[in-house]
Amino acid sequence: MKKGPRTALKKQELWNEICKQLNIPVNPAWYSTGSNVEAWAFDAALKKIGEKTGIPPSYLSEKENKIWRMLHKSKHAMLSAIHAINDPTAIYRLELFLFLFINAWELLLKAKVIMNNGESALYDKSGEHTITITTAITQIFNKEKDPIAINLFLINDLRNDVAHHVVPITPANIITVLQAGIRNYESKLKEWFNKSLSDELPFGMISIVSNIDKTIFDIDNALLNNSITKDTANMLNQWGKTFEKQMDIVEGAGGEMVQLAIPIRFNLAVVKDVSKASILASISETKESLVAIRYQKPTDRWKLTYTQLRQLIQKTIPITKKDLDDLIKQYKIKGNEMYSGYNFATNEKETEYLRTGKLPSSGYTPIYNHNAAAFLIERYKEKTTC
């Protein structure tokens, strides 16, 4: 067969351009001597193309093929859920989010079940029906009082409840739980399968954008305005009471509260230090427009739980839990905005704290930043070298 016309570019340069088009980071190890490109570079491109088309590479085993398809559908179900909850024009937004969210998690959990125990583990004792999501949750999160499992059970119960009601509002306590559920999904998707929603959507957009006016989502206000019925209000209030009880269980067990609920607080202000603003905005040179570019949650400013803080510090120094607790207390790290903040399980508890300056008896977790880790490392070194 006659060869086609030779391109002016080398194979490696052509491959670089293909990677750029597919948004694949170039790995130098893909290139051998001369201008050759290794076969596994094409494998990377094939997987990336498969993510867009929904068709897995043909060389995968039957088990890998099933997992691949389940994960592909799971990711897009979650992306659709986030789009639905953030669509201000959608009346059916909460219901649609819940159905898609639970579907995304069910597929993710079942893919994990197959990966751990094979495809046969996906079926119940009859062998005719696949296991329910509640069974999958129990199998994967077998630790009692696991906050991720509790989060999923709460959301699944809410999904079942709203199926029998019309719920045109999304109360603040529900938003906190849903936000944690999205965060947990992204975390486990990456931990279990090395995949991320940010492959399809910018990371900053993987969150729920809540209206600043919380009265719009207030149950009593919606009831007075006839936006919801008394039965719907009772259902939402009952779910809220269950949430409060589960929050106490997680806190009592020493669990990570951010895995159960992540409140979103909005403060719009003119400040010199932009790190303190919840909404960052810029004004054009003509001063004709105001553009909001970022919403900031407490966990955006202080990203580390206590466990993560200790693990980070232990990479540098062999600090014990007692020594760390003593240093945090000695230098009053908790509540010092340079190093720490509080993640409240409900907006009501947070609002009360901001109004009075007093912490509630329960329902909050201290969270920290990397500045706290650096500061505590230095203080520990000073203490141990004296």
Q: Which residue has the higher pLDDT, 209 or 53?
A: 53
As a whole number of angstroms, the distance between CA 38 and CA 44 comes to 11
Query: 283-301 as b/e, with b when 16 or more CB fall inside 10 Å?
Result: eeeeeeeeeeeebbbbbee
As a whole number of angstroms, the distance between CA 336 and CA 372 comes to 10
Query: For 61-111, what is each residue's pLDDT tens digit?
Result: 889 999 999 999 999 999 999 999 888 777 788 999 999 999 999 999 999
> Are the beta carbons of 108 and 136 closer than 8 angstroms?
no
Per-residue confidence band for 141, with pLDDT thresholds at 50, 70 and 90? very high
Cα dihedral across residues 211, 217, 222, 224: positive or negative: negative
Strands 340-344 and 279-283: unpaired
pLDDT of residue 152: 97
Long-range CB pairs of 189-193, under 8 A, 24+ apart, other chains included: 189/71, 189/74, 189/75, 189/108, 192/108, 192/111, 192/112, 192/115, 193/67, 193/71, 193/111, 193/115
> Are the beta carbons of 345 and 364 closer than 8 angstroms?
yes
Lowest pLDDT segment from 125-139, 195-209, 232-246, 248-262 = 195-209
